[in-house]
Amino acid sequence: MAVLVIAEHDNASVKDATNKVVTAAKAMGGDVDVLVAGSNAGGAAAAAAKIDGVRKVLHADGATLAKQMAEPLEALIVPLAANYDAILFPASTTGKNAAPRVAAKLDVMQVSGVIGVEGPDTFVRPIYAGNAIITVQDSQPKKVLVVQPTAFKAAGNGGSASVEMTAAPAGPFKSAFVSEEMAKSDRPELTAAKRIVSGGRALGSSEEFHKVLEPLADKLGAAVGASRAAVDAGYAPNDYQVGQTGKVVAPELYVAIGISGAIQHLAGMKDSKVIVAINKDEDAPIFQVADYGLVADYKTAVPELMEELTKAGV
């Protein structure tokens, strides 16, 4: 059996999600190769070659792959699929965008949101915002999986696989990149962060959201997240949304501030190791999943918490 993992990367290096999907691939048994598709992505290919347990890295490099759009990825991956029994994508927006295209071209029904690998053809995934967990048996000769990286431990970086070049697709394609607006931040990335401070509608304005949450996040070395209500209201960028239809996170510490705990929000964070909730409503559903709940107004609780952290040497 041979498995191809599609790397999540920014050309310079691979994201931690790649190491996690490699772990899922290894659990299926067989050889694991990694595809790095990008533009001037030598750095990422070299990084992928270091991931433990990787047999070889396929590196496709070209202008058509610069933005890893769905059409060129499909054109690249579908022919490569002939050499593999399974193709694994990370559940990033890039992976979710491309995987079904590849699956449909191969006439394969993909398994989305995989959180467990029980064997070469048995996978576990949540449905209904994580309120039910199904075990799926996939007997198709070829398999396409979209893997939830947060559910797997990252493979180490002690390997030395070979890197093999493969041609980038030429195009033309019917979609063209125009522009992008990426949030710049020195904080850790949400899906890879060990700690997250997340804010909800209670924060009331963009100004307040940043003023209250960022110092606390910086103190904890945490990423900043948000509920959908906070994003819809414009307090935080779309990229911050945690939940069923946003990002799924599983940090060691998740601090929910002024978030009620709707099922759609819980779906994105309830696998966090320790959950702290600060909410002035003692009946808020968030307290049902919180390890430590503090019934308080965030306006007084957050500054106090900052002080206490300082006292405790954090």
Partner 1 sequence: MKVLVPVKRVLDYNLKVRVKPDGSGVDLSNLKMSINPFCEIAIEEAVRMKEGGGGHAKDSATEVVAVSIGPDQAQETLRNALAIGADRGILVKADGEVEPLAVAKILKAVIEAEKPDLVILGKQAIDDDNNATAQMLAALLNWPQATFASKIVLAGSKATVTREVDGGLQTLDVDLPAIISTDLRLNEPRYASLPNIMKAKKKPIDAKTPADYGVDITPRLKVTKTAEPGKRQAGIKVKTTAELVGKLKEAGVI
Ligand X SMILES: Cc1cc2nc3c(=O)[nH]c(=O)nc-3n(C[C@H](O)[C@H](O)[C@H](O)COP(=O)(O)OP(=O)(O)OC[C@H]3O[C@@H](n4cnc5c(N)ncnc54)[C@H](O)[C@@H]3O)c2cc1C
- Within residues 85-144, the interface with ligand X by CB under 6 A covers none
Q: What is the 3-class SS of 8-77, one letter each residue?
A: CECCCCECHHHHHHHHHHHHCCCEEEEEEEECCCHHHHHHHHCCCCCCEEEEEECHHHCCCCHHHHHHHH
Instruction: Decide if residue 149 touches partner 1 (CB under 8 A).
Output: no
Q: How far is the CB of 241 from ligand X (least distance, A)?
A: 5
Is residue 26 within the footprint of partner 1 (CB under 8 A)? Answer: no
Cα end-to-end span (Å), the chain: 48
Query: In terms of CB distance, is 130 or 258 closer to ligand X?
Result: 258
Site for ligand X in 207-266 (CB under 6 A): 227-230, 241-246, 258-260, 262, 264-265
59 binds, among partner 1, ligand X, none (CB under 5 to 8 A by kind): none
The candidate with the shortest Cα–Cα distance to 274, out of 261, 257, 248, 256, is: 256
Least distance to partner 1, CB of residue 89, Å: 11
Which residue reads 């209904």 in tokens? 128
Which of the residues 86 through 145 are near partner 1 (CB under 8 A)? 92-94, 96-105, 107-113, 122, 126-140
Which residue, among 236, 218, 219, has the nearest Cα to 227 in the 3D structure?
A: 236
Contact 228, 245 (CB under 8 A): yes
36 binds, among ligand X, partner 1, none (CB under 5 to 8 A by kind): none
Q: Which of partner 1, ligand X, none does residue 180 bind (CB under 5 to 8 Å by kind)?
A: partner 1
Helix (H) or strand (E) holding 303: helix 298-311
Q: Residue 230 binds which entry of ligand X, partner 1, none, with Cβ cut-offs from 5 to 8 Å by kind?
A: ligand X
Nearer to ligand X (CB atom), residue 34 or residue 229:
229
Nearest CA to 141 among 76, 57, 81?
Answer: 81
The token pair at 229 is 């209500």
Q: What is the CA radius of gyration of the chain?
A: 21
304 is a contact residue toward ligand X (CB under 6 A): no
- Closest residue by Cα to residue 105 from 88, 82, 89: 82
Site for partner 1, residues 171 to 200, rule: CB under 8 A: 173-183, 191, 195
| CA separation for the pair 194, 222 (Å, rounded) | 7
* Contact of 295 with 282, CB cutoff 8 Å: yes
CB of residue 304 vs partner 1: minimum separation in angstroms? 4
List the single partner that 92 binds among ligand X, partner 1, none, CB under 5 to 8 Å by kind.
partner 1
In terms of CB distance, is 49 or 150 closer to partner 1?
150
Task: State the binding partner of 253 from ligand X, partner 1, none, CB within 5 to 8 A by kind.
Answer: partner 1
Q: Is the CA virtual torsion 247, 248, 254, 258 positive or negative?
A: positive
- The reply on whether position 281 binds ligand X by CB under 6 A is yes
- Chain contacts with ligand X (rule: CB under 6 A): 200-202, 227-230, 241-246, 258-260, 262, 264-265, 268, 278-281, 284, 297-299
